[in-house]
Structure 1
Amino acid sequence: MLDSKSLKPTKNFRSQSRNYYKSKKYTNPFFQESKKRKRHFALGLNKANAATISGILVFCLLIWFLIYSKYFAISATEIKGEGRIDPAMIEKLVWEQINSSYFVLFPQKNIFIFNKNDLKSLLEERFAFNNLEIKKKIPNKLIIRFSEKEYAIIWQEGESYYYGDSQGYVITQLENTLEVNKKDYPLIQNQKTKKLSENSADIEERYISYVLELFKRFKASTEIPPLDFFIIDDDVNTVKIKLVDGPKLFFNINEDMDKQLNKVMIIKNEKLKEDFFKKEYIDVRIGDSIYIR
């Protein structure tokens, strides 16, 4: 039989029991899940921020590479054309624009930023082109092809002379009268009240066409007296010719050219003969009539 001493709890047992209960931990599942969510959300934000920053950096580097790197900086030009325009003059204007900038930050030297339309407008102000083409060749080259308008007439206003095309556009101004080539191009003296405007002569294309055809007829014929120059004034539908050491001839551009030339030849060979060159003018513009002074 056990005695009472053996049933009495010992101090050691109580101490161990106390320690056992203290070591236990109780957790709330709800709060535990909440903490996990916060950690996951913070981690997601950090990843998103990192991705955004990385994207911005990549974008900035790309912009720098496309705009400011030497790889896309224009370093070569290829200029070819037909006519009397010196390609070196065009190249000079091209490089002036290349070395300029838009608002400092955007250099025209960059192949993407370089403005072809600005260059085309500038060149067309300086030269008379029949055709002008500007191309960009990636990464760093400009290609320019052009053809100059062909000379058709010489336009005179006062003491100034200009080469013009068949539409009346001025191509270039002659430096001196020694350059006036009346053998190859008809000289048209402007006696109208209106003068040159924006590199264009005040003359309709149909007048120029008539002048060019008359010029061919006079050059091809040995019977027609040699001409000196043409006159355009305020008389409507009229082209006037000044003959060398002779009278002026008045032609109607709406009437048959051959008929009017025949009237001139009849007057010269059958009527006036030697007196033909003494007259001031011969007007063959109207029908079968001829007016002489």
Structure 2
Amino acid sequence: MRPGQSQRNRFVSQTLKKRPVKKKNKKLIGLVVLLLFIFLYLSFSSALKISNLVTPLGKNINQAELEQATWDYLSQRRFWLLPQNNLLFLSKSGLFNYLNERFPIAELKIKKRPLHRLVLDLVEKDYSLVWLENGLYYYINDQGEIIKTATERPQNVVVISNLADPKQGEKRIDMDLKYLESLHTVQQTMTVNQPDLIIGHYVYDNEPNTIKLKIEEGPLLYFSTKEDIVKQVSKLKVLRDQVFPDQVNFLNQLYIDLRYGDRVFYQ
């Protein structure tokens, strides 16, 4: 072997070993470039862009406001990169949380559809009572959650006039749910057992364990939340039958207190 030949062979051998590494780097760079191209294509391509929004016509949720809120969310980007108006990159959980914070939604299904369509299939929360405070009518459910707000007195809905401290919060009426439960019982029992009496409204004040019901053009009725509501309504029926058979005399009473055992107080 000639002098220096061994060193040249080692150099050639090392050079040959390094070449595959360069090829791997080129492949990796090519793959990154390809993925970047695909990402940019999918991000800016109109093929996946949401342009058609299908929303339900609701009872308590304004359809135009729901659509506007949805478009507002779709105009955002997730992680500063992923456009939310793209069917592929849209975060359904993110849109759900965004809308749920702004509307009384019980259930919401977000469906991605061909032809650039996004379908919102939802079930609204409904109200059962109306809370009157500072001139505003708050439509609430059994949990005290505010469903919507109005300035005009509603029709065919139970109204509770608040004469105590303000209870209206950001999303709910902050009050004892036991009171609402008892009020529903009074309402249902009166409707069944005293159907001829027209309920005007309920009065809420600081008197504990008490439900006050104002009969339209008639007396204020006092019920105890600690006593059996059905028995209290039964006492009212006996009072009307035996003491005030004349409807006019009954309606002329100022109040009728049914809270104390077998006794009834009236004036």
TM class, shorter-chain normalised? 0.7 to 0.9
Q: CA deviation at 1:192?
A: 2.6
How far, CA to CA, are the matches of 1:126 and 1:220 in structure 2? 37
Higher helix residue share: 1
Distance verdict in 2 for CA 1:37–1:186, change over 3 Å: same
Deviates most, 265-274 or 230-239: 265-274
Q: Does residue 246 of the first structure (1) align with residue 218 of the second (2)?
A: yes
Task: Decide whether the 8 Å contact of 1:111 with 1:139 is kept in 2.
Answer: no
1:116-195 matches, cutoff 5 A = 116-136=92-112, 140-177=116-153, 180-181=154-155, 184-195=156-167
Task: Decide whether the 8 Å contact of 1:132 with 1:146 is kept in 2.
Answer: yes
Q: Deviations over 1:236-281 (max 9, x none)?
A: 2211111122211111123222211122233333235554333322
| TM-score, reference length from structure 2 | 0.82
Distance verdict in 2 for CA 1:176–1:225, change over 3 Å: closer
How far, CA to CA, are the matches of 1:26 and 1:205 in structure 2? 101
| TM-score, reference length from structure 1 | 0.76
Q: Does residue 71 of the first structure (1) align with residue 47 of the second (2)?
A: yes
Total equivalences in the alignment:
265
Task: Decide whether the 8 Å contact of 1:71 with 1:140 is kept in 2.
Answer: yes
Unaligned 5+ residue runs, structure 2? none
How far, CA to CA, are the matches of 1:139 and 1:53 in structure 2? 34
Q: Deviations over 1:183-211 (max 9, x none)?
A: x3211112231321123123333333332
How far, CA to CA, are the matches of 2:26 and 2:196 in structure 1? 92
How far, CA to CA, are the matches of 2:198 and 2:20 in structure 1? 96
Structure-2 residue corresponding to 1:13 = none
Structure-2 residue corresponding to 1:83 = 59
Structure-2 residue corresponding to 1:257 = 229
Distance verdict in 2 for CA 1:131–1:48, change over 3 Å: closer
Distance verdict in 2 for CA 1:169–1:57, change over 3 Å: same
Structure-2 residue corresponding to 1:52 = 28
Unaligned 5+ residue runs, structure 1? 1-24
Task: Decide whether the 8 Å contact of 1:151 with 1:163 is kept in 2.
Answer: yes
Structure number, greater radius of gyration = 1
Structure-2 residue corresponding to 1:200 = 172
Distance verdict in 2 for CA 1:104–1:75, change over 3 Å: same
Equivalent residue of 1:70, what SS?
A: coil
Q: Does residue 277 of the first structure (1) align with residue 251 of the second (2)?
A: yes
Q: Does residue 111 of the first structure (1) align with residue 87 of the second (2)?
A: yes
Task: Decide whether the 8 Å contact of 2:60 with 2:147 is kept in 1.
Answer: no
Task: Decide whether the 8 Å contact of 2:189 with 2:230 is kept in 1.
Answer: no
Task: Decide whether the 8 Å contact of 1:83 with 1:149 is kept in 2.
Answer: no
Equivalent residue of 1:235, what SS?
A: coil
Q: CA deviation at 1:221?
A: 4.6
Task: Decide whether the 8 Å contact of 2:202 with 2:211 is kept in 1.
Answer: yes
Deviates most, 101-110 or 185-194: 101-110
Structure-2 residue corresponding to 1:225 = 197
Q: CA deviation at 1:146?
A: 0.8
Distance verdict in 2 for CA 1:152–1:59, change over 3 Å: same
Q: CA deviation at 1:44?
A: 2.8
Q: Deviations over 1:15-59 (max 9, x none)?
A: xxxxxxxxxx95755234224314313433432332232232223
Distance verdict in 2 for CA 1:195–1:26, change over 3 Å: closer
Letter of the structure 2 residue corresponding to residue 165 of structure 1: N
Task: Decide whether the 8 Å contact of 1:81 with 1:147 is kept in 2.
Answer: no
Task: Decide whether the 8 Å contact of 2:133 with 2:166 is kept in 1.
Answer: no
Q: Does residue 214 of the first structure (1) align with residue 186 of the second (2)?
A: yes
Distance verdict in 2 for CA 1:223–1:32, change over 3 Å: closer
Q: CA deviation at 1:157?
A: 1.3
How far, CA to CA, are the matches of 2:71 and 2:62 in structure 1? 15
Task: Decide whether the 8 Å contact of 1:250 with 1:284 is kept in 2.
Answer: yes
Q: Deviations over 1:70-104 (max 9, x none)?
A: 33332333323653434343222211222233576
Q: Deviations over 1:100-145 (max 9, x none)?
A: 3357644332334434444334423432122223344589543311
